[in-house]
Amino acid sequence: MNKTKSKPPSTSEQFNKVYSSPISHWVWSDIRIPQELIELIKTKNPKTTLELGCGLGLFSNFVAKQGIKATGVDFSSVAIENAMRRVAENELKPEFIVGDVTNLETIKEKFDISYDVGCFHCLNEESQQKYASEVYRLLKPVGTHLIWALDLSPSEIKLSPDYIAKTFENGFHLVNSKFSRRRIIASHWYWLVRK
């Protein structure tokens, strides 16, 4: 019997469909704030943050509730609409933007820290290079960019500390990496500091 491997969503249209479902979006959504993000906020004490691939905005919302100016970007307009509805009644709320993490020319502000929990590994190699350039442009010097990524991307790129260091070498130092079993799958956290 020929089994077809189910491919994860990769386009904004596919993610719009996922985020429109009351059930299937839970496969791609987080319900807990990562300790790595909590520690980064505590140690760096940022005034401004940028989340790439924010989905339903749970992490940006957490950051905003700490009194930090939080901005979240996602290319799924449905995810952004849902994120905005979720925080509508909050006194402190993030700004949510529909945008492509490889081309964020509408954002001019510089950020103290940026983070990404599950977006980078969805990109192909060319898009990863563009993403790295955009993070460099938007992050203040010596700002930290935190990434959580699967060790084997949905497009079967093998991600590793060496791979991440090479991808970001023009603008960042990889200062730390840590193996993780987040979502049960082999993955890593990466801490990159802008040169």
- Residues 137-178 pLDDT 10s: 999 999 999 999 999 998 899 999 999 999 999 999 999 999
What's the pLDDT score for residue 34? 96
* Band of residue 5 on the pLDDT scale cut at 50, 70, 90: very low
Does 139 or 23 have the greater pLDDT score?
A: 139
- Residue 158's pLDDT is 97
Q: Strand, helix or coil at 165?
A: helix
What are the residue boundaries of the structural domains of the chain, listed by start? Answer: 30-194
Residue 69: predicted pLDDT: 98
Give the pLDDT score at 18: 61
- β-bridge mates for residue 188, sequence order: 149, 179
Q: Which CATH architecture has domain 30-194?
A: 3-Layer(aba) Sandwich (3.40)
Whether residue 40 contacts residue 115, with contact meaning beta carbons closer than 8 Å, is answered with yes
- Alpha carbons 85 and 139: distance in angstroms, whole number: 28
Query: Distance between CA 148 and CA 176 in Å, rounded?
Result: 12
- Cβ neighbours, 10 Å, residue 106: 9
Is the pLDDT confidence value at 92 over 70? yes
What's the token pair of residue 127?
């898009």
As to burial, measured by CB atoms within 10 angstroms (0-12 exposed, 13-18 middle, 19+ buried), residue 159 is buried
Looking at residue 19, its pLDDT comes to 58
Residue-wise pLDDT tens digits, 104-143: 999 999 999 999 999 999 999 999 999 999 999 999 999 9
pLDDT band at 184 (very low <50, low <70, confident <90, very high): confident
Indicate the pLDDT class of residue 185, thresholds 50, 70 and 90.
Answer: confident
Q: What is the pLDDT of residue 2?
A: 39
Residue 165's pLDDT is 98
DSSP class of 66: T
Q: pTM of this prediction?
A: 0.88
pLDDT tens per residue, range 40-74: 999 999 999 999 999 999 999 999 999 999 999 99
